[in-house]
A and B are shown apart, each in its own frame.
Chain A
Amino acid sequence: MAASEATLPPRMRPLDILRFAYGAAAGNRLRTLLLILAMAIGVAAVVVLTALGDGARRYVVNEFSAIGSNLVIVLPGRSQTGGFSPANAVTSTPRDLTVADARALQRAPAVRRLAPVTAGTSELSVAGRLRETLIIGTTAEFLEVRRFKLAQGRFLPDEDWDRGTPVMVIGAKLASELFGTVSPLGQFARIGDRRFRVIGVLAAGGSGLGMTTDELAIVPVAQAQAMFNSNTLFRILVEARSREVIELAREQVTQLIKQRHDGEADVTVITQDAVLATFDRLLGTLTLGVAGIAAISLAVAGILVMNVMLVSVTQRTPEIGLMKALGATGRVIRRAFLVEAALLSAAGAVIGYGLGLGGAAIIRALYPVLPAYAPNWAVLAALGTALVTGVVFGVLPARRAAALDPVLALSKR
């Protein structure tokens, strides 16, 4: 007997602690369910709210990506800062941006293709039917630069930019409104006193920057300038050769314009990246803030864990006294209670994660445009915080249990 005593391991086995803690948690259903629920709500809140925030961020990023990849946009007028600000859109123009400028920019090595754009609203009429619409004047490569798709026919012909064949490509909604079920291809539409032959229809659903292509009418740039009696451009859309040379393209474009405008860089060149980065930062911060608010509910859950575990220690005082009488050290009791708190928190975290995923799925079902997926960092942070708060707030009750006087504990009934 003495020999076997000497070889006894000094501590309770981890698996036994786990099983014992599980038994203790399962022994009081209501308490356990309430705790798990509190923890689950906290985690679910983090998952759902960050999914919302990140969904909004992704939505905006997608919207910008939809206007074309590797895009560099040249606007007339200089802005004070290099970044994107609403002021850029309303800067007065010291020197106009012209079709000749656009033609010159084609020589820049980092530029793959570009499209000059002029825009204005006008009345479009077909057989007496009138429709106020946005007219875009541009060139053949606009389709590629903006990544638009055609539903029928073809896009503007690749011709001399100054010539301007009277042809027109229209949006899907415009096509159905003006021509009904008749195929618009080959039909004529009037803008003012000009007649245009419809040669193509854009695919429905194209969008970007909040502007839908469904109600656009696109004509050659020379036609549009004549129509609006102006030789200036609204902007030039430049596509860089690759993602890596976007910045290079921006510099070359700025240089070329400066040369052409008597040494004055009186244009604003914005890259899609800069715009994206701004929104990305903005909405990323928003998501973080929302996650922080949700994390408060996790802290509340942690305090609840502490209170419930404290009550549990009081309720189980005789049991703790007994365990001490049976040879349990303070350390064993502390661990048993800590493991129990950790188990409850973990269960709550896992269930909350499931609820959060479900909630995000419901949001996606209700608002299909919003890609409401919780970011990985938020999920990890929520699960981590749940476990840490559960254990941290479990420490005090566990210590109290371990410190109980076995004599008093046993005499309590």
Chain B
Amino acid sequence: MTTSKANGALIDLERVERVFRLGDSEVHALHELDLTVMPGEYLAVMGPSGSGKSTLLNLVGLLDRPSAGTYRLDGRDVTTLTPEEQAQLRSRRIGFVFQSFHLVPRLTAAENIALPMMLAGIPAAERAPRVQQALADYGLVDRAEHRPDELSGGQRQRVAIARATIMQPALILADEPTGNLDRATGEEVVRLLEELNARGVTLIVVTHDGALGARARRRIEMEDGSVRSDTAATHAPA
């Protein structure tokens, strides 16, 4: 690996395996995968369908567990945590942005943005100003009371990004964030994500889109569950 495994890494995956059983056969979605990500990095994960990109993202996002190997987040082994503890970590440290936005259809934009705070038990009085700030930051003030089906694709993804950042996570995981958007809207969404990265949030983007991948300071190409190339060296942060 080009990046050292020194202390201080945000994400440290070591010989991670993820095996799915399909009937009698075993599928190695991830195989002997090593990956270290430092705080503040901007990483694009690329590769063909079935190369293990999404599995990797789910593992890093604590939505899935490795079959073997260790995953350290902030230097702490998180593979042995209980589901409840993992949920706590997701709540505070990780924000998700999905290709299909995943907004709750019956909730307004403001309520969708407030959802992570509600789940974390933050009182309503404290939530309101933070939601207002987020709505202002993402240009959604006049859309606050609209439901997702009354919003454009770009607005929906802005709501999703506002929701992903409302708990001020250290890590944003974006799975094809521009996949359902036209080019101009996609550009804007990427710009918002990059602004977050510029403020110190670690950003990992999974994408097919070469142009989007090329914007990241570090790119890894995946193939058959392993990292084929890691072009981080030229731009890697100190």
Contacts and interface: CB of A to CB of B under 8 A. Distances in A.
A328 interface: yes
A297 B122 CA distance: 41
B157 to A, nearest CB: 14
Interface in B46-87: 58, 61, 63-64, 83-84, 87
A180 interface: no
B123 to A, nearest CB: 7
A410 B98 contact: yes
B101 to A, nearest CB: 10
B118 A330 contact: no
A9 B121 contact: yes
A324 B116 CA distance: 10
A318 B103 CA distance: 9
Contact of A410 (B63, B83, B90): B63
Contact of A326 (B64, B90, B106): B90
B91 A327 contact: yes
Contacts of A242: none
A31 B179 CA distance: 34
Contacts of B163: 326
B119 A327 contact: yes
Given A27-B106, A410-B63, A12 B87 contact: no
Contacts of A327: 87-88, 90-92, 116, 119-120, 167
A319 interface: yes
Contacts of B61: 325
Interface in B119-157: 119-124
Interface string A13-42: 101100010011011000000000000000
A332 B119 contact: yes
A8 interface: yes
B110 to A, nearest CB: 13
B63 A8 contact: no
A413 interface: yes
A16 B125 CA distance: 12
B64 A407 contact: yes
Contacts of A147: none
Contact of B121 (A13, A322, A323, A330): A13
Interface in B194-219: none
Contact of A330 (B83, B106, B167): B83
Nearest to B55: A407
A128 interface: no
A194 interface: no
Contacts of A90: none
Nearest to B123: A13
Given A8-B92, A407-B63, A328 B106 contact: no
Nearest to B96: A325
Query: Most B CB atoms within 10 A — which of A23, A323, A325, A407?
Result: A325
Given A1-B168, A329-B84, A330-B83, A20 B106 contact: no
Query: Most B CB atoms within 10 A — which of A8, A26, A318?
Result: A8
A332 B167 CA distance: 18
A410 B54 CA distance: 12
Given A326-B90, A327-B167, A8 B120 contact: yes
Interface in A54-78: none
Contact of B116 (A5, A11, A326, A410): A326
Query: Most A CB atoms within 10 A — which of B58, B121, B124, B167?
Result: B121
A330 B83 CA distance: 8
B120 A410 contact: no
Interface in B84-115: 84, 87-88, 90-92, 96, 98, 100, 102, 104-107, 115
Contact of B115 (A5, A326, A410, A413): A326
A375 interface: no
A13 B120 CA distance: 8
B63 A406 contact: yes
Contact of A16 (B63, B92, B124): B124
A263 interface: no
Contacts of B122: 8-9
Interface in A323-350: 323-332
Contacts of A26: 106
Contact of A325 (B63, B92, B100, B123): B63
A10 interface: yes
Contact of B104 (A5, A13, A322, A413): A322
Given A326-B163, A327-B87, A327-B92, A20 B98 contact: no
A12 B96 contact: no
A407 B102 CA distance: 13
A335 to B, nearest CB: 11
Contacts of A322: 102, 104
A386 to B, nearest CB: 26
14 contacts: A9-B121, A12-B120, A12-B121, A24-B106, A319-B104, A326-B91, A326-B116, A326-B119, A327-B88, A327-B119, A328-B87, A329-B84, A330-B84, A410-B102
Interface of A: 1, 5, 8-13, 15-16, 20, 23-24, 26-27, 318-319, 321-332, 406-407, 410, 413
Given A13-B123, A27-B105, 14 more contacts: A1-B168, A12-B121, A16-B121, A322-B102, A322-B104, A327-B91, A327-B116, A330-B83, A330-B84, A407-B58, A407-B63, A410-B63, A410-B98, A410-B102
